[in-house]
Amino acid sequence: SIMPATLSAISNGASHGVLFKGGTHLESLSSVKVIAFDKTGTLTEGRPAVTDLIVKDSLDKTETLSILRTIESLSAHPLAVAIQSFAEQEGAGLLKGIEIRDIPGSGLEADWEGKTYRVGKPGFVGKAEAAAFADGALERLGNEGKTVVFLRDEHGILALAALKDTLRPEAVQALNSLRALGVRTVMLTGDNEQTARAIAEEAGIDEYTAECLPETKVARLKELEKTYGAVAMIGDGINDAPALATSTIGIAMGDGTGVALETADVVLMKNDLRRLPYAHRLSGRMNRIIK
């Protein structure tokens, strides 16, 4: 049976927008030594906008954007949503008969009229080719904290789009409060090294790992757990679900995708990162009452 103190703390949490799926998660939260954050949609708003577009000289810009828009139209990833609305504004249409496969943490693969396309990060479309196509722009865009997405077919790179996302306004304050509670903060992101560093510095995160695949996030969490003890992971995407399931406590952003919400033990209904130190303190207070 559930103790009155636990019940009252769970209801206190709920009224502050923190949903605990059970008393044990509330109990263990104050023992967490490390909180690992996903980047896009968790530390950042997750509403990136396209800032730069480079299309291969010999190609028609609108036609190329139509391919990109159609492929991204089957993804709910924040980058996909941004690219779709940009392409639409630029007059790109939607093509019929494209078949798409989602590759979490990397991008998308598509078949259309006998051709195979890939949309996603440099490592997914071919790092060397991506760098050669960008011709020096890749590092500059990364240093500006922008994420670069490429489109390729089986012959080579067709286009790149750079996107800029913004840090959540409360992120710095939330991380400072967690540090004051003795919690180490870590960022695990699928994004490239430069972009990851720019966001990590802006947020004031203790450490980060870039270019993570979903399984890299899982492996890194296990290492952190060995080194520091109980680890919580907070994320919003399909790509975060395995990590949410692995960590001592999985936390989902309320606006996250269905899989993240289902896998998580705790949900931040209001997407406000300051609810993390709040929930940690709530857990500490409750444990002092019931022990």
Active-site positions read 38
Q: Give DSSP secondary structure letters for 9-26.
A: HHHHHHHTTEEESSHHHH
Q: Which of 171, 183, 191, 278 binds ligand ADP (CB under 6 A)?
A: 191
Contacts of 95 (CB under 8 A, 6+ apart): 66, 67, 70, 112
In 3-state terms the chain splits into helix, strand, coil percentages (rounded to 5) of 45, 25, 30
> How far is residue 220's CA from residue 207's CA, in Å, rounded to a whole number?
12
Indicate the Cα dihedral angle 147, 153, 159, 162, nearest 10°.
-10
Task: Verify binding: residue 237, Mg ion, rule CB under 5 A.
Answer: yes
Q: How far is it, in rounded angstroms, from Cα 222 to Cα 86?
A: 39
**Judged by CB under 6 A, does residue 237 bind ligand ADP?**
yes
Choose the one of Mg ion, ligand ADP, none that binds residue 184, judging by a C-beta under 5 to 8 angstroms depending on kind: none
Specify the residue, 34 or 234, whose C-beta has the smaller distance to ligand ADP. Answer: 234
| 236 forms part of the interface with Mg ion (CB under 5 A) | yes
With b for 16 or more beta-carbon neighbours within 10 A and e for fewer, the 171-187 pattern comes to beebbebbeeeebbbbb
| DSSP-derived secondary structure for 150-174 | EEE-SS-EEEEEEEE--B-TTHHHH
Binding characters for ligand ADP, 19-58, by CB under 6 A (x = yes): -------------------xxxx-----------------
239 binds ligand ADP (CB under 6 A): yes
The SS3 of residue 137 is helix
Asked if 40 touches Mg ion (CB under 5 A), the answer is yes
CB 239 to ligand ADP: min, Å: 4
Would you say 201 or 290 has its CB closer to ligand ADP? 201
Q: How far is the CB of 62 from ligand ADP (least distance, A)?
A: 19
Q: Is 247 in the site for ligand ADP (CB under 6 A)?
A: no
Question: End-to-end alpha-carbon separation of the chain, Å?
Answer: 16
Q: Which region, judged by CB under 6 A, interacts with ligand ADP, from 51-59, 99-107, 176-184, 223-231?
A: 99-107
Give the orientation angle of helix 4-15 with respect to helix 275-290, to 10 degrees.
170
Residue 6 binds ligand ADP (CB under 6 A): no
CB atoms inside a 10 Å sphere around CB 145 = 21
85, burial (CB in 10 Å: exposed 0-12, middle 13-18, buried 19+) = middle
Site string for ligand ADP, 194-233 (x = CB under 6 A): ----------------------------------------
Closest residue to ligand ADP, based on beta-carbon distance: 190
Options 6, 34, 68, 107; binder of ligand ADP; rule CB under 6 A: 107
Question: Residues in the site for Mg ion, rule: CB under 5 A?
Answer: 38, 40-41, 236-237
Question: Residues in the site for ligand ADP, rule: CB under 6 A?
Answer: 38-41, 72, 75, 77, 79-80, 105-108, 119-121, 147, 149, 189-191, 237, 239
